[in-house]
Amino acid sequence: MVNENLGIFFRVKSGDGIAISKLKPFGMYPVYGGNGINGYTSNYNVEGDTLVIGRVGEKCGNVNITATKSWVSDNALIVIPKTKYNIEYLSYLLEFLNLNDYANRNAQPVISGQIIYAIEAPFEGNEELQEKIAQTLSQFDTYIDDLGELIEKKKGIRDGALEDLVSGRTRLDGYEYEWQEGKIGDILKILHGKNQREVESYSGKYPILGTGGIIGKATEFLCDWECVLIGRKGTIDNPMYMNTPFWTIDTLYYSKPTDNQCVKFQYYLFCTINWYDYTESSGRPSLAKKVIEAIPIRIPRYEEQVKIAKVLTAMDKEIADLETEREKIIQIREGAMDDLLTGRVRLTT
């Protein structure tokens, strides 16, 4: 394996312009632009198995292989080989080099052929080894993609179960009584978060929560009981569940449950509510305490709440475990790319 300038192996040319009116959400041939596929059209200007590099945009330098006949716009570059190489291997090598780092950062990021040609990269000249490297990395990609599809499938099943179980449309075995009608204020009390200035510290051991999640650490806690949180303004459609002590700022409400209520069920109930139906502002969304507490609900008895929560929690854990597995494989893939594409680890022919 030797270090060579990329210009030794290929040249690039710009794709062809295409009118926005020609771009469709569905069509026969994908259109590749600066950020990958951005639509479909009825014509093509490259055959399949063509390497394409994004030329313009925040994601310029991204690399794609056209699997079918495609249209490459003038916001992308078409790679034309000067020597023989495995196209999948070169695609992985260009991804590894992260061409976006080399883009000109003007009003809009742009990468040119001249910039790409001058980049020095490790290159495996043996085509058989190129193919083996590409096959090895492709196995990671296939597994990662399969996990992604499985996660989305599981999320769809979980979302359907959430709506059915929390609404009472589907009942668990052994439960046939009528659910109680009431309002949210019957099952919990809404409380305001507070300013974090007096308790915020790098040495704090309690999380400070905002609408986006953890935003700092606190030396004191505001709540040490199991509860549900919901945004007061801004992001109002992202309920959270906490069962450890925390502090929360005043853009969030937190709750205190009444007796004989399953808080995890309350969380799932909050996940089914369209909070924007109850916003008080046509500008930045906001929720009033009295509005939340007045929202009408139907709920089962405590024992059924617990069982519903357990079913949904098990589904969430399965999804979380799959997402953790996917992230782990992504990290392993990155390490494999570094080892194989730099020659630190050599495959045998």
Beta-carbon contacts of 175 under 8 Å, excluding residues fewer than 6 positions away, are 300, 304
Reported pTM: 0.86
In whole angstroms, what separates CA 292 from the centre of its chain?
Answer: 29
Name residue 180's beta-bridge partners: 299
Say which DSSP state 280 is in: S
- C-alpha pair distances (Å), 93 with each of 53, 86, 90, 159, 174: 12, 11, 5, 39, 59
pLDDT in tens, the chain (349 residues): 889 999 999 999 999 999 999 999 998 999 999 989 999 999 999 998 999 999 999 999 999 999 899 999 999 999 999 999 999 999 999 999 999 999 998 778 999 999 999 999 999 999 999 999 999 999 999 999 999 999 999 999 999 999 999 999 999 999 999 999 999 999 999 999 999 988 999 999 999 999 889 999 999 999 999 999 999 988 898 999 999 999 999 999 999 999 889 999 999 999 999 999 998 766 788 999 999 999 999 999 999 999 999 999 999 999 999 999 999 999 999 999 999 999 999 888 7
| CA 184/CA 338 separation, integer angstroms | 53
Burial of 175 (0-12, 13-18, 19+ CB in 10 A): middle
Nearest-10 Cα torsion for 88, 89, 92, 98: -120
